[in-house]
Structure 1
Amino acid sequence: MKLAQYGDYLYLYILLLSFIPAIVLGIKGKNIKYYGVLISILMVGLIVGTGKYNLHLFIMFIIGEFLVIYGYLFIRRKTDNKLLYYLALLASMLPVIITKTSALTSFGPIGFIGLSYLNFKAIQMIIEIYDGAIKEVKFSTLVYFIIFFPTLSSGPIDRYRRFEEDLNKTIEKQEYLDEYLYTGIRKIFIGLGYKFVIAYLVNTMWMSKVPADITFINGLSYMYAYSMYLFFDFAGYSSFAVGTSYILGIKAPDNFNKPFLSKDMKEFWTRWHISLSKWFGDYIYSRIVLNSMRKKRFKSRFTASHVAQITTMLVMGVWHGLSSFYIIYGLYQGVVLVLTDIIQRKWKYYKKHKKEKWFQYVQIIINFNVACFGLFLFSGWLFR
């Protein structure tokens, strides 16, 4: 049996049943960790599936990443050699590299649902072990961190140190009721409304009815329909995942915060798929800028920032897939971020009016369309 996480009613029924022991433990002020590990193992089996290869690949992934993490942790205690760091980083990235490149072969993608998001966790740990931010890795914590089922298939992408801090926190009964159970249930109901009502209606009554002919009107209609559908579907899923995490005593990070009210694309990426954009910002963008400035590759930090923005978004596009429209989407996002920065720094009219309400409303309207066009490119509608 294989279930679509947060995507079918049988999964939701099983999920509801799985809440009961967690809620009882939380109300009694008991540690939910051990139950969480057990239910995560069971749910991973249902989500990943018992197909011919999926579960085997999942187990191979876990064993491989654990060997890389603990192997590099041992090496890092002896040396900070960059070559060894890069080799460990490459080894941790191999699963997602294999999955993305195998999609271009006649065999099709080799992997399992959620592999990319799990791989982000392992890659982040290698980077932070090198930085010295992670010095010890408890085996039971690592197991739970990697297989934590609420965020398995599509995030949000958590960080090891933040997860460990939540895991080790003692939660009293009233705190669990007020900050975890109530908040978790509220987020799950938001997820229900977004994914199973609004996204469903947008898809069935609008997006699916857009004619297949490539015309300006059809493209414009599909652009807005797809943008709305993608937001409510993905934000609904994320709200489900975060709500479930809260009920299990883990405050997984929120992934969306009213992104279409952003005044520019820099703000948009602090509101849309927040855990992914922060991951790319922390581990790719910031490091490119810092290394470029340290090695004086560019005359100004603005040039370094612009190169980093385009590179980061291009990598994000490639991470989604090697299809041409994902690469174009990544380049588009990078160029838009660069243009946003140039406009905000150099356009006198912007500086003069940026604090005025009318100007901010105009910004929101313009940015909404800029964001929707990016999602339109991402949909691949033009490249069928």
Structure 2
Amino acid sequence: MSFFSGVPFFTLMTLLLLPALFLGLRGKAIGPYGLFASLVMILTVLAGTPLQLAWLGAYLLWESLLVFLYIPLRQKKGPVPWHYALALFLSLIPLLLMKWSEVTTLSLFSFLGLSYLTFRVAQIIIETYDGVISSLSLPAFWAFLLFFPTFSAGPIDRSRRFEEDFRRRYTREEYLTLLGDGLEQLLIGLVYKFVLSPLAFRLLSLCQPKGGLLLALAYGWCYGIYMFFDFAGYSRMAVGCAYILGVRTPGNFHLPFLSRDMKDFWNRWHITLSHWFRDYLFSRFLMGGIKGKWFKSRLSGACWAFLLNMLVMGAWHGLTLYYLLYGLYHGVLLAATEVYQKKCSFYKKYRNCTWYGLLSWFVTLNLVMVGFLIFSGALFT
């Protein structure tokens, strides 16, 4: 069984959502039940892989110990940089071991959803250091990490927003609205994932990425469309399921193929991932560089921040060459976009013209599809 795929999963999901629906319509708290439902679902999905269950148990113990030692330490000692750096590094160790396993013959540490759980733990540690988080209950922490709609592939929620919904009691009218929105998201996700995504995959199978420039670009287009319907469908189903469990998980896609430039694209594509990197890597690296006077100007700092941000994002997808090149490619495009928009008089003069908007959209869309061609790895096999 796998998440959001196959009759067994959807049957169990339906059975687990029915009590949540009953609680929501009665105005009762759904959060504690959501933790129970998540444990049932994860144990069922991973039942055939006991080693993954063992790694998950070890991960929960490790990260719980780390977070609940660091929060009181931060409150007692204040924002000590080396405490923070150590806690953050220790939280990343399981993910680093998994990534190392990808390039060696050793299987050091790996289970479904590890990378997405690591984002959530790192966010808690970072915001604890910032003084934004001062307390956290163990049930809320586990519910946040194990929430089954977003467990394996996001969207990536934020702990404070999640905890508000975890503790919230909806009125009957509020829950009916949330339920309606959730069912709509589920239905759209089902159509994306099981109707449109397979159609795009059939088109993909007809393309030859090494048959010349036009065929390679056609492959990139088909792969990009396939990726959108497959992942956006998964994300919509996850959001819809989360709504029924009383959690307003943020969406992951907003008309990405209507983007007018590369920065606009990353505000529309895999939104929770790109915003996580923006808030916790890009912005912090840039502000640290400005304070430390690492760069000649804020613009050059932004360019280096884009390159670092996207290279790390590429490495997060995997340490294979094409993922790293994909990250570097988007880093260069984002840096170039930043320079162009800040320095080019042509852009400033015509950016509000309709013809310029259409041209910018067309160029952006094709650059995005070239990126998908790189991401697919088809050129490297």
Task: Give the equivalent residue in structure 2 for 1:311.
Answer: 308
Larger deviation: 58-67 or 98-107? 98-107
Pair 1:129 & 2:128 matched: yes
After superposition, the C-alpha distances for 1:38-76 in whole angstroms (9 at most, x for unaligned) are 110001112334314110001001110001101111221
TM-score by length of structure 2 reads 0.97
Larger deviation: 135-144 or 344-353? 344-353
1:293 paired residue among 290, 304, 319? 290
Task: Give the equivalent residue in structure 2 for 1:59.
Answer: 57
Task: Please give the alpha-carbon distance, in whole angstroms, between the structure 1 residues aligned to 2:236 and 2:347.
Answer: 35
SS across alignment from 1:53: helix
AA aligned opposite 1:111: S
Alignment of 1:93-104 (within 5 A): 93-104=92-103
Pair 1:280 & 2:277 matched: yes
2:204 paired residue among 207, 211, 220? 207
SS across alignment from 1:266: helix
Pair 1:240 & 2:237 matched: yes
Q: Report the Cα offset of residue 372 of structure 1.
A: 1.0
After superposition, the C-alpha distances for 1:300-357 in whole angstroms (9 at most, x for unaligned) are 1111111111001011011111101111111111100011111112222221111112
Task: Give the equivalent residue in structure 2 for 1:26.
Answer: 24
AA aligned opposite 1:222: Y
Question: Relative to 1, partners in 2 of residues 1:109 and 1:4: Cα closer, same or farther, differing over 3 Å?
Answer: farther
- The answer for unaligned runs of 5 or more in structure 1 is none
Checking the alignment, whether the CA contact within 8 Å between 1:214 and 1:382 is kept in structure 2 is no
Larger deviation: 107-116 or 37-46? 107-116
Q: Report the Cα offset of residue 214 of structure 1.
A: 4.6
SS across alignment from 2:168: coil
Task: Please give the alpha-carbon distance, in whole angstroms, between the structure 2 residues aligned to 1:66 and 1:116.
Answer: 16
Task: Please give the alpha-carbon distance, in whole angstroms, between the structure 2 residues aligned to 1:319 and 1:49.
Answer: 27
Task: Give the equivalent residue in structure 1 for 2:145.
Answer: 146
Q: Report the Cα offset of residue 107 of structure 1.
A: 3.2
Task: Give the equivalent residue in structure 1 for 2:349.
Answer: 352
Task: Please give the alpha-carbon distance, in whole angstroms, between the structure 2 residues aligned to 1:109 and 1:226.
Answer: 32
After superposition, the C-alpha distances for 1:254-296 in whole angstroms (9 at most, x for unaligned) are 1000011010000111100000001000000000111111111
Q: Report the Cα offset of residue 212 of structure 1.
A: 6.5
1:378 paired residue among 351, 375, 378? 375
TM-score by length of structure 1 reads 0.96
Pair 1:265 & 2:224 matched: no
Alignment of 1:83-102 (within 5 A): 83-102=82-101
Task: Please give the alpha-carbon distance, in whole angstroms, between the structure 2 residues aligned to 1:148 and 1:44.
Answer: 9
AA aligned opposite 2:122: I
Task: Give the equivalent residue in structure 2 for 1:198.
Answer: 196
- The answer for unaligned runs of 5 or more in structure 2 is none
Question: Relative to 1, partners in 2 of residues 1:109 and 1:222: Cα closer, same or farther, differing over 3 Å?
Answer: farther
Q: Report the Cα offset of residue 109 of structure 1.
A: 6.8
Question: Relative to 1, partners in 2 of residues 1:109 and 1:225: Cα closer, same or farther, differing over 3 Å?
Answer: farther
Task: Give the equivalent residue in structure 1 for 2:13.
Answer: 15
Alignment of 1:60-75 (within 5 A): 60-75=58-73
